[in-house]
Chains A and B, each alone.
Chain A
Amino acid sequence: AQSVTQLDSQVPVFEEAPVELRCNYSSSVSVYLFWYVQYPNQGLQLLLKYLSGSTLVKGINGFEAEFNKSQTSFHLRKPSVHISDTAEYFCAVSEGQTGTASKLTFGTGTRLQVTL
């Protein structure tokens, strides 16, 4: 069975500083990996995804993530955060290949708190 671990429940950071949100996954098969962002009282918005190919994935709002198969990690990074990046961030994994992949398994989330 697949699982996701987000090691940090909260990450405080000053505006314009870099940030890394950590995600590790467990799966016995090939996976697709995702990062979603959730603003208060809203649904989830996809930041970026890894399906195959280049291990460095760029997403919206200046975020990027790197897939590391040997370490089963998919850490999210941003070189300079803004106040508006304050939100909850979820890492998710889906097992299987195109056509068979279905449910997402999410981590417990990391609260990114950006302050001046």
Chain B
Amino acid sequence: DTGVSQNPRHKITKRGQNVTFRCDPISEHNRLYWYRQTLGQGPEFLTYFQNEAQLEKSRLLSDRFSAERPKGSFSTLEIQRTEQGDSAMYLCASSLVGRGNEQFFGPGTRLTVL
């Protein structure tokens, strides 16, 4: 399978715990994006990387959120001290610069904070 993969697919945690999600993009794609989708809403942009450089962060991304893409391949999104409001689907997408910004999405990680 050469698509975008995300792990885990589901995560249930208690408020105050830290969680980490992983995204593996399509291998030749140099851009990687994180979005968050809550029930009944469209995805909202969180951050994106070009290779290993984090080029933009949304104001939605509070200090409790951190994302990395250390070798320009896979990426991790960590949420510290989770809150119930963090419950959402976290989507990862990847794209190739120069291809009209067509982004390919993974299946998402559904986070539930109890």
Contacts and interface: CB of A to CB of B under 8 A. Distances in A.
B102 A46 contact: yes
A44 interface: yes
Given A43-B106, A43-B108, A44-B91, A102 B101 contact: yes
B45 A104 contact: yes
Nearest to B9: A41
B43 A106 contact: yes
A4 B44 CA distance: 12
B42 A109 contact: yes
Interface string B17-45: 00000000000000101010000111111
A99 B44 contact: no
A104 B35 CA distance: 9
Given A43-B108, A44-B105, A32 B42 contact: no
A102 B107 contact: no
A48 B108 CA distance: 21
Interface residues of A, number: 27
B43 A104 contact: yes
Contact of A90 (B43, B56, B93): B43
A90 B42 contact: yes
Interface string B84-100: 00000001010001111
Contacts of A103: 33, 45, 48, 56, 58
Interface string A53-83: 0000000000000000000000000000000
A23 to B, nearest CB: 11
Contacts of B40: 108-109
Interface string A87-100: 00010101010110
Given A32-B101, A102-B56, A108-B41, 9 more contacts: A46-B104, A51-B100, A94-B101, A96-B101, A102-B101, A103-B56, A104-B93, A104-B101, A109-B40
17 contacts: A32-B101, A41-B110, A43-B106, A43-B107, A43-B108, A44-B43, A45-B105, A46-B103, A49-B100, A98-B97, A98-B101, A101-B100, A103-B56, A103-B58, A104-B35, A104-B103, A106-B42
